[in-house]
Structure 1
C-alpha cells in the first residue's frame, strides 16, 4: 500500500502541474471565452478531487502518520477554495461587467492558492516516499516465513 500511496500522490502532483498548463491554454486562447477554460475547470472540479480522495485513502491504508493523512486531504479543501476564488471576481465586477480591484485581488488569490496546493501535494509526495522507504514493513506485507528482525517481538533474544 505504501508504494501505491507514492504512485497516486505523484500522479496527483503531475495533474496539479498540468492544471497550470490548462489555465494558460484558457488565458491565451483567442477569441477569449469561458469555454477556453473547460479543461482547467473539469480537471479542477472532478479529476483533482477524485485523486485527492484516492491519495488520502492510500495514506490511510498505508498507515501513514496522522499529519501526513491530514496533508493528503488538505488539497481537497484548497480545491473547494479555488472554486470560490474563481467565482468571486465576477461577483465583484462593476455594473458593465468589467473588472474591479477587489475582483482582481480574488483572481490573484486563485493563482496563489493553486501554488499553495501544489506545495502541499509536494509535501505529501515527499512524506509518502519517506514512508515507503522507511524500511518498516506493513503488517499486511509481513511474510511469516521470514525471520523477525532482531529486537522485535517474536525474535529470539540472546541470553
Structure 2
C-alpha cells in the first residue's frame, strides 16, 4: 500500500502542475470567455479533490503517521479556499463588469493559495517516498569530504 501512496501522490502532484498550465491556457485564450477556464475548473473541482481523497485513503492504509495523513488532507481544504477566492474575485467587478482592484487582489491570493497547495503536495509526495523506502536499519551514515576518495 505504501507504493500506492507514492503513485497516487505523484498523480496528485502532476494534477496540480497541470492546473497552472490550464490556468495559463485560460488566461491567454482569445477571445476570452467563460469556457476558457474549463480545464482549470474541471481539474480543480473534480480531479484534484478526487486524487486528494485517494491520497488520504492510501496514507491511512499505508499506516502513515498522523502528521502525514493530516498533510495529505490539507489540499482538500486549500481547494475549498481556492473556490471561495475564485468566486469572490469573479464577483468583485464594477457595474460594467470590469475587474476592480479588490477583485484583482483576491485573484492574486487565488494564485498564491495555489502555490501553497503545490508545496503541500510536494511535501506529501516526499513523505510518501520516505515511507515507501525507509533507510536500512543497518546502514551506516558515511560523510565524504571534497577531495577525498569515496
8 Å Cα contact 1:89-1:107 kept in structure 2: yes
> What TM-score do you get using the length of structure 2 for normalisation?
0.88
Q: What is the rounded CA distance, in whole Å, between the counterparts of 2:61 and 2:81 in structure 1?
A: 27
> Residue 62 of structure 1 corresponds to which residue in structure 2?
62
Secondary structure at the counterpart of residue 32 of structure 1: coil
Q: What is the rounded CA distance, in whole Å, between the counterparts of 1:20 and 1:92 in structure 2?
A: 22
1:97 to partner: Cα distance: 1.4
RMSD: 1.1
8 Å Cα contact 1:90-1:97 kept in structure 2: no
Could you say which structure has the larger radius of gyration? 1
Q: What is the rounded CA distance, in whole Å, between the counterparts of 1:10 and 1:99 in structure 2?
A: 36
Verify: 1:127 aligned to 2:139, yes or no.
no
Count residues in correspondence.
136
8 Å Cα contact 1:16-1:48 kept in structure 2: yes
> Residue 106 of structure 2 corresponds to which residue in structure 1?
106
Cα shift readout 1:11-33 (whole Å, capped 9, x = no counterpart): 10011001110011111111100
Unaligned runs of 5+ in 1: 137-159
Verify: 1:26 aligned to 2:23, yes or no.
no
Runs of 4+ in 1 over 2 A off after TM superposition: none
Within 5 Å, give how 1:1-159 maps onto structure 2. Answer: 1-134=1-134
Q: What is the rounded CA distance, in whole Å, between the counterparts of 2:86 and 2:102 in structure 1?
A: 13
- Higher relative contact order at CA 8 Å, sep ≥6: structure 1 or structure 2? 2
1:91 to partner: Cα distance: 2.3
1:135 to partner: Cα distance: 5.7
1:45 to partner: Cα distance: 0.2
Q: What is the rounded CA distance, in whole Å, between the counterparts of 2:104 and 2:32 in structure 1?
A: 17
Unaligned runs of 5+ in 2: 137-150
